Amino acid sequence: MVLESLKKILKGDSNKIKPISSNLTSIEEYEEIPVDTGNSEEEDIIKIKVLDLEDYRDAADIVVMAESGHIVIVNTVDLEKDIDEEYSKLILYLKDKIAEFGGAMVRLSVNKLLVMPKNVVIEKLVKEMDDSK
């Protein structure tokens, strides 16, 4: 009796075993799932952010935005009249952080800076002198 039970356990019950293919669905019954590849037009959009530079937290926000690919217009105090030593250090900090990731910063006016990510190049257009005059 015990020997018969062991044989049955080791051999397995042939009635319980079902062929593997009985549980599979045929390939014709599967449905195609649409895959969203994203909108390529949205990926090509370059965003320009405008921020005020008042403290180091603002400088960190500007760096993060530029590092993530945004162009940032920075509103500053009047850089010719109202700048003090602390604000000068803040601008130098911002300039150094932008240079770390390969970005660029240029002054647009007395109270505006332009910060660009590393994939944006600024080129100054130089007009050639006309020799005929």
Q: What is the pLDDT of residue 51?
A: 93
User: Measured between alpha carbons, how far is 85 from 91 in angstroms, rounded to an integer?
Assistant: 10
72 closest CA partner among 60, 82, 63: 63
User: Measured between alpha carbons, how far is 78 from 73 in angstroms, rounded to an integer?
Assistant: 15
User: Measured between alpha carbons, how far is 120 from 99 in angstroms, rounded to an integer?
Assistant: 13
**Based on C-alpha coordinates, what's the Rg of the chain?**
34
The per-residue pLDDT string of the chain (133 residues; one tens digit each, 9 = 90 and over) reads 667 776 777 666 555 555 555 566 666 666 667 776 666 566 677 889 999 999 999 999 999 999 999 999 999 988 788 888 999 999 999 999 999 999 999 999 999 999 999 988 888 788 887 766 5
Looking at the structure, give the CATH architecture of the domain made up of residues 44-116: 2-Layer Sandwich (3.30)
**Is the whole model's pTM more than 0.85, yes or no?**
no
Q: What is the pLDDT of residue 83?
A: 83
- Where are the chain's structural domains? 44-116
